[in-house]
Amino acid sequence: MTNDEFAFFLGCLIPNRLPAIEKASRLVCDKLGIRLYDMDGASCCPAPGVMKSFDKNLWLKLAARNLQISEKMGYDLITMCNGCYGTLKDASMELKEDKEKLSDVKETLNRLGLSFENVPNVYHLVEYLYFDYGLDRIRETITNKLNLNVAVHYGCHLLKPVKYRRSENFEVPQFFDELVEITGAKSINYPEKSTCCGAGGGVRSGMKDVSLEIAKRKVASIKGADCIVTPCPFCHMQLEQVSNIPVLYYTQLLALAMDIPKDVLGLEVEL
């Protein structure tokens, strides 16, 4: 696999509901020299909190079909969504660790006329930028320091399960805060920083009122922030519904620090 070149897994939510996040991510990656290749025929990841709970075997095989597309393209896979990352990363690791599961998946894909030999690596864009691309390289592209107070929201699947994640401190992580602060912004602490946004695990679908109450409690604990910054479109959409301050995806914040105009990004927020 080639460094800084990836099969680009968009998932469902970004192209259907939040295309501005996709645009910002493509523009930022272009500035950074990261090459993204669209995955023709990719499907839903599928969602970890729902499908995996009902039929883990089917969940794994559907995820493997997406991984197979990435493998045939000759690239590792990168995604912008915590949920997609949770599914595809965990599926990738399980298939690498369990030969029986891998054999069963290969047999199913072969019946569909698909060959699957080498399981690709899976990255979240935010994780990759910090742990692989590096803060120093990102700093070289920043020309507009942002004087903002930012409430960082990590989300759940970016940090857990711990055995498949790279943060050394999943209870009080720092890597996303550091990525935010290289833009010139300040990451502020707030009481509900480590809590879920309330959207995942099927909660939003099954108990929307409860889901929104969780989000409201989280947002109400934020004091003195100019915006909330997330690494996940589902968290982004959830928090945006209850927040009285702007909610940005990380690449939108980074794009502003790269001096990419707001109208090019499709941003109408006042910061």
Q: Domain end: 97, 125, 153, which one? A: 125
List the one residue out of 155, 129, 151 whose CA is nearest residue 142.
129
Domain range holding 231? 142-265
Whether residues 12 and 80 fall in one domain: yes
For residue 204, is pLDDT > 50? yes
In a domain, 130, yes or no: no
| 116 and 201 together in one domain | no
**Whole-structure pTM value:** 0.94
Q: Is 19 helix (H, G, I), strand (E, B) or coil?
A: helix
Residue 42 above 60 pLDDT?
Answer: yes
**Do 152 and 261 fall into the same domain?**
yes
Domain assignment present for 136: no
Asked if pLDDT for residue 2 goes beyond 50, the answer is no
Looking at the fold, whether 17 and 115 belong to one and the same domain comes out as: yes
125-142 per-position pLDDT tens digit: 999 999 999 999 999 999
Q: What is the pLDDT, as a whole number, of residue 1?
A: 39
Residue 162 pLDDT greater than 80, yes or no = no
Residue 271 lies in a domain: no
Give dist(CA 168, CA 130) in Å, integer: 13
Residue 70 lies in a domain: yes
Rounded mean pLDDT, 172-195: 95
Task: Among 42-56, 58-72, 132-146, 251-265, name the one with the lowest average pLDDT.
Answer: 42-56
Per the structure, how many domains does the chain have?
2
At residue 175's C-alpha, the angle toward residues 148 and 177, to 5°, is 15
pLDDT in tens, 205-245: 667 888 899 999 999 999 999 999 999 999 999 999 999 99
State the pLDDT at residue 201. 66
Residues 167 and 67 in one domain: no
Could you tell me the sign of the dihedral formed by the alpha carbons of 156, 161, 162, 166, in that order? negative
Q: Which of 20, 6, 28 is nearest to 251 (CA)?
A: 28
Least confident stretch, 29-38, 114-123, 129-138, 166-175: 166-175
Same domain, 40 and 120: yes
Per-residue CA distances from 231 to 127, 228, 250 (Å): 9, 10, 6
Instruction: Report the alpha-carbon distance of residue 88 to residue 86 in Å, rounded.
Output: 6
CATH number of the domain that residue 169 is part of: 3.40.50
**Does residue 244 share a domain with residue 152?**
yes
How far apart, in whole angstroms, are the C-alpha atoms of residue 32 and residue 140?
9
